[in-house]
Amino acid sequence: MAHSHDMPTDLTRNQELVLGTLTASSGPLSAYDILDRLRTEGLRAPLQVYRALEKLVDRGLAHRLESLNAFVACADAHCHRKGLIAFAICEGCGKVDEFADAVIESRLGAWAHAEGFKVERTTMEIRGRCAQCLKAA
């Protein structure tokens, strides 16, 4: 079974560094977190990171978590380039779980259709505690 994080071969150096940092992290990172981890690689300015993140997010290789102002590597590259993705974010350990639900997507689509609203992008983020953290407590 192939690893989900095989890195595409057509990334630029900065994109590759940023995606590598996200992939190596156990949880979401802010752009400035990423920058700090890449200073040894020569990155100096926030914009270098933000530009790489923009491309990665456009390509679905990374996601932005709006409620955290942070980013994660896509956990599941083969299936969600399109469509609605939900994130479950554990406040305890920072772990982020990524999932899709066709029923939710279709309910949203139905609402939008009824209202005449054209959906461009959907953010869905659940905050709480994961099973492991609940058990530990």
> Binding to DNA by residue 123, rule CB under 7 A?
no
First to last CA, the chain: 34
Residue 52: name its binding partner from Zn ion, a copy of itself, DNA, none (Cβ under 5 to 8 Å by kind).
DNA
Distance between CA atoms of 101 and 84, rounded to whole angstroms? 8
Work out whether 51 is an interface residue with DNA (CB under 7 A).
yes
Residue selected from 4, 13, 122, 128 as contacting DNA according to rule CB under 7 A: 13
Stretch that binds a copy of itself, among 8-16, 34-42, 75-83, 122-130 (CB under 8 A): 122-130
Asked if 54 contacts 11 with a C-beta cutoff of 8 angstroms, the reply is: no
- Which residues in 83-102 contact Zn ion (CB under 5 A)? 90, 92-93
**Per-residue tokens: 75:** 């956990």
